[in-house]
Amino acid sequence: MLRHVGRQRKHPAIRLAAAACVCVVAAAGCGGSSGGGSQPTLTVSAAASLKDAFTTCAQQFKQAKVRFSFAGSDELAAQIRQGANPNLFASANTKLPEQLFSEGKISKPQVFAGNKLVIAVPGDSKIASINDLETPGTALVIGDASVPIGSYTREVLGHLPSAQEKAILANVKSEEPDVSSIVGKLTQGAADAGFTYVSDVKGTKGQLKAIDLPATLQPNVAYGAGIVKGTPNQKQSQAFIDDVISGSCRQVMQTNGFLPPPQA
Amino acid sequence: MRSRLGRAVARLFPVALIVAVAVTLVFLALPVIAIFADVSPKQLIDSLDDPATVDALRLSLQTTLTALLIILVVGTPVAWALATRRFRGRQILVTIIELPLVLPPAVAGIGLLAALGPKGILGPVLDSLGIALVFQTAGVVVALTFVASPFYLRQAQSAFESLDRSLVEASRTLGASEARTFARVACPVAFTSLLSGAALAWGRALGEFGATLVFAGSFQGVTQTAPLAIYAQFGTNFPGALALAAVLVAFSVAILGGVKLLGRLQPA
């Protein structure tokens, strides 16, 4: 017994190394067999604005376990270009999926949802229309030009008289990498107003309120998804898109403030 | 049986060490090499003409050096106090000072927002003083100072602790005040050590991303430092992002090399 303890003290480093090796092998084994069960796992790279809706949808989805990577659509597209292989790419626009399709990275994109661009303000804000955003000293946050929310916003501002566009852009204090980052700045009271999707405002449960844009300014916000070429479980990936467009997820999307896929 | 196993392990262990070192080396060096492999010198120089890149580099230099100055001026006396005094709760104080080392940067940003943001604990006080930090270059400096200061404080504290006591005592016996001893004896003697601590803090500040984005936002020329510009360009302009990354790597290597060189000149 005593000898045994003595031995144990002799090589703690070796024992630690051995333990570490076992752990690494075990972890690698787990990763290789993709969950171990019969149910496959789908990895979905999705726009940050889809976070709440897709997370709920995934819990109801029967044909596969779904794991998400939520970020700005442009970051996700760049990752796929650099060789990242999620099963599915769901973007907050149709431009990025169309680009990836023409580069041969993903299947022909399908439009699966629409959304509405709004001005998001704290619940107690006095801002009532897009004209109020010109007031000097209004702290405005928008999306970076590279991310869909940012390019929709610039599209809207581009339709305004150029003096008004200039005045509003002069109030922009930050260009955020994704929509959740814009919402965070608003709920923390750091900014007075921001451009987001109506679904994002709904997700804050009353902390923020949405101010509609004049109908003539409203851009056509369409979400497109494509299956990444050469990835396994293509059937389940398509089933997930179908579920969003016409299955049980459609209702979830609506509850979260998304619109039906617009007719292009 | 056990001893045979033990002998086998003993024989294999050196081999395992070599494998571990090789794996570590490749794993850590490859991403850095890849940045330079993917970007040609011409691309690198061309991208430095891009106004967003120029603004980001200028802002990074300006904010990191300001943060470093604050850290040196306030941090050096703090490190001296911690090194020379023993008091109740000292260990807790040291732990609090080291906390930003292990805090995820995004958490640091949220914490700063909750403390110094418009709705934060000190928000109304700052507002009444006319101080704005969120979305301002000053906010970037605050975020950088927060995450980088422990790197200097730790190094400075241990530098002062390892000072030759007889030097300090001789100074005091000869009639110098503590302030004079600190300024004329302790700081000059610990100088190389302090400098390497400052370099580490500078390196950390240059790489700061999460706390800056969450607390100060991202706006070209005002709050968009080099790491934020890299992230913004990653989606649309990958070569530009790589080129800016290459510049940051070159900076970091220079800083690290400087530290190592200092360490050789005068072992702490």
Percent of chain B residues topping a pLDDT of 90: 58
Q: Is the pLDDT of residue A20 over 50?
A: no
CA distance A53 to chain B (A): 24
pLDDT digits (tens, 9 = 90+) for B29-81: 998 888 888 778 887 788 778 888 999 999 999 999 999 999 999 999 999 99
Picking from A254, A208, A2, A220, the residue whose alpha carbon sits closest to that of residue A94 is A220
Does the distance separating the beta carbons of A82 and B113 come in below 8 Å?
Answer: no
Q: b/e map of B199-232 (b: 16 or more CB within 10 Å)?
A: bbbbbbbbbbbbbbbbbbbbbbebbbbbbbbbbb
Closest chain B C-alpha to A189 CA, distance in angstroms: 6
Between residues A13 and B6, which one has the greater pLDDT?
A: B6
Q: B235 and A77 in contact by Cβ < 8 A?
A: yes
Asked whether this complex has an ipTM greater than 0.95, the answer is: no
Nearest residue of A to residue B139 by CA position? Answer: A190
Q: What is the pTM of this model?
A: 0.77
Judged by CB atoms closer than 8 Å, whether chains meet at B16 and A11 is answered as no
Q: Tell me the per-residue pLDDT of B178-198, one tens digit each, with 9 for 90 and over.
A: 999 999 889 999 998 999 999
pLDDT of residue A37: 54
Question: Distance, in angstroms, between A7 CA and closest chain B CA?
Answer: 10
Query: Is A144's CB within 8 Å of B119's CB?
Result: no
Give A1's pLDDT tier (boundaries 50, 70, 90): very low
Question: Chain B partners of A185 at a C-beta cutoff of 8 Å?
Answer: 217
pLDDT at B74: 97
Share of chain B above pLDDT 70, in %: 98
**What DSSP designation does A107 have?**
P
- Cβ neighbours for A56, distance < 8 A, ≥ 6 positions apart: A252, A256
Q: Is A127 on the interface with B (CB under 8 A)?
A: no
**Separation between Cα atoms, residue A68 and residue B165, nearest integer Å:** 58
Measured between beta carbons, which residues in chain A are less than 8 angstroms from residue B219? 172-175
**Comparing A130-144, B28-42, B203-217, which segment has the lowest mean pLDDT?**
B28-42
Mutate to test the interface with A, among B4, B236, B238, B242 (most CBs of A within 10 A): B236
**Mean pLDDT lowest among A36-40, A259-263, B126-130:** A36-40
- 3-state secondary structure at position A121: strand
B233: which chain A residues are within 8 Å (Cβ-Cβ)? 146
Nearest CA in chain B to A139: B135
Q: What is the DSSP letter of A134?
A: G
The partner residue sitting opposite A190, judged by closest CB among B117, B218, B220, is B117
Contact A144/B at CB under 8 A: yes
Q: Which tens digit of pLDDT belongs to each residue from B142-164? A: 999 999 999 999 999 999 999 98
Selected residue of B127, B218, B238 to mutate for chain A interface (largest A Cβ count, 10 A):
B218
Question: Are the beta carbons of B148 and B204 closer than 8 angstroms?
Answer: yes
Answer whether residue A212 shows pLDDT above 80. yes
Q: What are phi and psi of B12, to 5 degrees?
A: -80, -20
How close, in Å, is residue A252 to chain B by CA atoms? 29
Angle at B254 between CA B251 and CA B255, to 5 degrees: 90
Residues 192-251 (A) with a CB less than 8 A from some CB of B: none
Q: CB–CB of A261/A112 below 8 Å?
A: yes
Chain A residue numbers touching B138 (CB-CB < 8 A): none
- Partners of residue A8 in chain B, C-beta under 8 Å: none
Could you say which DSSP state residue A109 is in? P
B223 touches chain A (CB under 8 A): yes
